[in-house]
């Protein structure tokens, strides 16, 4: 694992730019995960410091993730999580027929942890807008109204435009050797100070390159 990319830190929370191919947290002791790495970081500052999970990103998704540094901050953030503005960027295979769309589906999960679209289950709402395309690949800006497991990946696959590198959900290509999905914008009220917090990452260079046909 690389060195932690810390974008913001105070007494109540810490915002990290998560690399791809690392779990947010793991049930298995000793396995590499971001929670353990951040916990080690804060314990070096003070052995009594703790880290609390607020939300998660899929293992193969990179980008913005916030951890709480006390239980009060965790509870307030989670209670108001539906008010948090979250945006992603992704490269998908092909060119969506609609340049902008609101996807609404119900999702279920198999015993082997594969999420799929069903007539019943948990509602998932994903909005996308095409930012650039070369026909073979398209760069999308995405915001989500719900936070279901794998929802972006499943819903885009369901319209026959899986995310590049997402073999699990039907992608045929993996030119970037990673899942082309990044959580690149977070906006929320600070749980204690109530100050508006905004964090934005640049679109990964390789995302733009593949859509411009440079990869």
pLDDT band at 46 (very low <50, low <70, confident <90, very high): confident
What does the mean pLDDT of the chain come to? 94
24 vs 42: CA distance, rounded Å? 16
Residue 99 falls inside a structural domain = yes
Confirm if 185 and 86 have CB atoms less than 8 A apart: yes
pLDDT band at 200 (very low <50, low <70, confident <90, very high): very high
| pLDDT single digits (tens) 61-96 | 999 999 999 999 999 999 999 899 999 999 999 999
Over residues 17-26, the mean pLDDT reads 92
Residue 100 falls inside a structural domain = yes
Over residues 39-60, the mean pLDDT reads 92
Confirm if 130 and 140 have CB atoms less than 8 A apart: yes
Residue 136 falls inside a structural domain = yes
Containing structural domain, residue 184:
6-211
Neighbours of 37 (CB within 10 A): 17
pLDDT attached to residue 1: 58
Given 5, 58, 166, 202, the catalytic residue: 58
Over residues 99-121, the mean pLDDT reads 95
Residue 114 falls inside a structural domain = yes
Domain count, the chain: 1
The dihedral through the CA atoms of 190, 32, 175, 93 has a sign that is: negative
Residue 98 falls inside a structural domain = yes
Residue indicated by tokens 């703790």: 50
Q: Which residues contact 111 (CB under 8 A, 6 or more apart)?
A: none
203 vs 140: CA distance, rounded Å? 11
pLDDT attached to residue 2: 74
| pLDDT single digits (tens) 146-168 | 989 999 999 999 999 999 999 99
Residue 138 falls inside a structural domain = yes
70 vs 150: CA distance, rounded Å? 28
Residue 214 clears pLDDT 90, i.e. is over it: no
Over residues 40-60, the mean pLDDT reads 92
Residue 140 clears pLDDT 80, i.e. is over it: yes
Closest among 210, 202, 205, 133 to 164, alpha carbons compared: 210
> Catalytic: 58?
yes
Residue 28 clears pLDDT 70, i.e. is over it: no
CATH number of residue 29's parent domain: 3.30.2350.10
Residue 180 clears pLDDT 80, i.e. is over it: yes
Residue 1 falls inside a structural domain = no
Residue 139 falls inside a structural domain = yes
Residue 30 clears pLDDT 70, i.e. is over it: no
Over residues 107-129, the mean pLDDT reads 95
């Amino acid at each position: 694992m690389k060195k932690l990319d810390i974008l913001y830190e105070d007494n109540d929370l810490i915002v990290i730019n998560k690399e791809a191919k690392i779990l947010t947290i793991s049930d298995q002791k000793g396995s590499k995960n971001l929670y353990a790495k951040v916990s080690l970081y804060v314990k070096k500052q003070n052995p009594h410091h703790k880290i609390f999970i607020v939300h998660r990103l899929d293992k193969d998704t990179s980008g913005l993730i916030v951890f709480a540094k006390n239980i009060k901050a965790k509870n307030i953030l989670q209670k108001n999580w539906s008010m948090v503005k979250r945006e992603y960027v992704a490269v998908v295979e092909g060119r969506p027929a609609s340049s902008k769309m609101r996807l609404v589906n119900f999702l279920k999960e198999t015993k082997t942890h594969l999420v799929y679209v069903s007539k019943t289950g948990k509602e998932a709402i994903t909005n996308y807008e095409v930012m650039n395309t070369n026909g073979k690949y398209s760069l999308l800006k995405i915001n989500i109204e719900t936070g279901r497991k794998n929802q972006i990946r499943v819903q885009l696959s369901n319209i026959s435009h899986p995310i590049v590198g997402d073999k699990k959900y039907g992608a045929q290509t993996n030119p970037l050797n990673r899942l082309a999905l990044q959580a690149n914008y977070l906006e929320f009220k600070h749980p204690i100070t109530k100050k508006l917090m905004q964090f934005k990452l640049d679109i990964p260079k390789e995302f733009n390159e593949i859509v411009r046909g440079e990869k």
